[in-house]
Amino acid sequence: MTLPENLPVDFTAYNHLTFLPLGRKNKSIRSVGSKHTKGLLGRLNDYFERAMNELSQEDIVLFQTFLYGSHRGGFPVAIDKNEDVYPHFWKPTSFLWKEYNKNRGIPIHHDEFYSQDFTVLTKNELENCLGSIMKDYMFCARIHDSSKEEWIQHINKCFFKHPLISLYHRNADVIEAIEQSKKSPLLFIMKNPEQIAFWRNRIEIIMRPFRSLPYTAFERGFSDTEDTVLTVHGEKEIIRLTSENRGLAVTYDVANDAISLDDEYNVVLAAKRLATTQRQFEEIIDENEEVIQKLLVFFKWKSLLKHHEVHIKEIQDKLCSLTTYQLNQRQVLQENDPFLSFIQKVLQVKTPNAKLEVDSIQWFSQWNFPDVTLLQETNKFTCCMDPNEREKKLTEISAKIENELHKQRQDLLSTPLKIGQITFDSNQMLRLLTLIDTLKNTETQQSYVQILEGVSTNSIRQKELDKIPAFGLLSSVKRKRIVTYLQELQNYQLLKKEKKGFSLTPKGEAIRRLFEEESRRI
């Protein structure tokens, strides 16, 4: 960024200072104030003359270019609307990567000024203060050629070169495997529980470096963050980068082109501990051959069932239909059939990637059992490992479900449904569910009740709702009872209450279609 050409004002008497109008409405400077002010400006000018003489020609060009582009200028001093010297110096970050309106003065933002009032300082105090400020300005001058976004990208690249972050990415699969294995329920059926307990306790120390940052920070750094804040610290020649959302903060050393984390660790030691932890756990795995063999059998089961995906999908769909036509709670079929129950549980288990080396910690960590007792059940179905026997068993199960499904449908059609003190046959249920399907959320609950009650209001007649088959269906029932019946139908999950009126649930719609098909058949 360079200041607009028309804003800076130079006075011959102060050839190493440049004056800038402070305040949006303050667009120009005609003179610079009192005798006291001129004395102060003289001291400032002398200091910056010496400071500039100590700089190399290259640094002088950097300073000039940073603030004024191709134009010459001195150290910026703010002049307020009363043409008095503003008693605070601008921070160089006020000009870094910013644009100012050429038709207005520079706005007053107090956080963009150093807090020290330089007008009250002694000569020595002033020189010390200006020495520190010049370091800040020269630092910003050296970094201004690259944009803020370019610096963020560069610092992000340096982040991934940091020894800890680099170690994490070289061993990300092992780190994840250790974290997952620590929580595995399989540990509770393995031998040597004392050794396992010791290993788990050691993890709290060993994993500390890899838990010092959130997972997304390790994985993504500052990539794709919208809240990244870049802060320049000129005197220390560092840039601070933070992202609150990602829980990440780093310090970038410009001179050494390297970043440091808030929490640093001995990376060599961390690498050794990580390798030892992996080796120790894989020794535990080797000592539990019986468990590994059971896992391999289970892995084979998972593979075998893939050959019957279509058949199993049909069975699962039929099981869903069973619950659709089930109004009263009955025992589900998979609870009665052990092999079906076994299949359902097998399908819920997450197995490792087949390409992973068996007995490795990565392989072990990817097992995810809802219930490890399932490992004991594989022996019960050894006969079903034969493809013909397996297909035969699945066909029998499918036929059982189909029979149960047919029975449930027939029960619904032939057995009246009792709600409260009223019994509904299939025809009455069809009329009631069709009413919901027809009106949906176009009518209020009160209108539904009036229709079922058979109350012929002017509004109902105008809408011809008195011609609906369900009109007067519950004419013998008190109004408050009708509201209760509608609530009962919600409990049966046949309909749901909307902001206005009701609508059929998928279960209610399926049962309505069943009654409708039966009505047409008759």
DSSP 477-495: S-HHHHHHHHHHHHHTTSE
- Using DSSP, state whether 146 is helix, strand or coil: coil
Helices 193-206/267-286 angle, 10° precision: 160
pLDDT of residue 153 exceeding 90: yes
Two tokens, residue 412: 């619904």
- Structure confidence at residue 213 as a pLDDT band (50, 70, 90): very high
pLDDT of residue 338 exceeding 90: no
127 vs 101, more confident: 127
**Average per-residue pLDDT for the chain:** 88
Helices 506-521/426-439 angle, 10° precision: 130
User: CB count, 10 Å around CB of 309?
Assistant: 10
pLDDT of residue 331 exceeding 50: no
Alpha-carbon gap, residue 386 to 157, rounded angstroms: 56
CA–CA–CA angle 165, 162, 219 (5° rounding) = 30
Alpha-carbon gap, residue 410 to 123, rounded angstroms: 103
163 vs 406, more confident: 163
Alpha-carbon gap, residue 218 to 166, rounded angstroms: 9
pLDDT of residue 248: 95
Instruction: Determine what percent of the chain is predicted with pLDDT higher than 70.
Output: 94
97 vs 2, more confident: 97
- Using DSSP, state whether 18 is helix, strand or coil: strand
pLDDT of residue 364: 95
Indicate the range of 11-20, 203-212, 224-233 predicted with least confidence: 11-20
Print the SS3 string covering 72-85. CCCEEEEECCCCCE
pLDDT of residue 505: 92
Strands (E), 55-106: 75-79
pLDDT of residue 77 exceeding 80: yes
Residue 158 carries which side chain, given as an amino acid letter?
Answer: C
312: nearest Cα among 385, 381, 401: 401
- Structure confidence at residue 23 as a pLDDT band (50, 70, 90): confident
Cβ(3)–Cβ(55) under 8 Å?
Answer: no
Alpha-carbon gap, residue 437 to 428, rounded angstroms: 14
pLDDT (average), residues 507-511: 91
pLDDT (average), residues 193-206: 94
- Using DSSP, state whether 417 is helix, strand or coil: strand
User: CB count, 10 Å around CB of 117?
Assistant: 11
- pTM of the entire predicted model: 0.75
352: nearest Cα among 399, 295, 405, 283: 295
- Using DSSP, state whether 121 is helix, strand or coil: coil
pLDDT of residue 260: 96
| CA 335 to chain CA centroid, nearest Å | 38
pLDDT (average), residues 75-83: 84
129 vs 104, more confident: 129
The residue whose two tokens read 């009631």 is 432
Cβ(473)–Cβ(452) under 8 Å?
Answer: yes
CA atoms lying within 13 Å on the CB side of residue 404? 23
pLDDT (average), residues 156-161: 96
pLDDT of residue 256: 93
H helix and E strand count, the chain? 20, 10
Residue 72 carries which side chain, given as an amino acid letter?
Answer: R
310: nearest Cα among 244, 394, 234, 392: 394
> What is the topology classification, in CATH, of domain 415-519?
Arc Repressor Mutant, subunit A (1.10.10)
Indicate the range of 31-35, 120-124, 208-212 predicted with least confidence: 31-35
Indicate the range of 22-31, 214-223, 258-267, 325-334 predicted with least confidence: 325-334
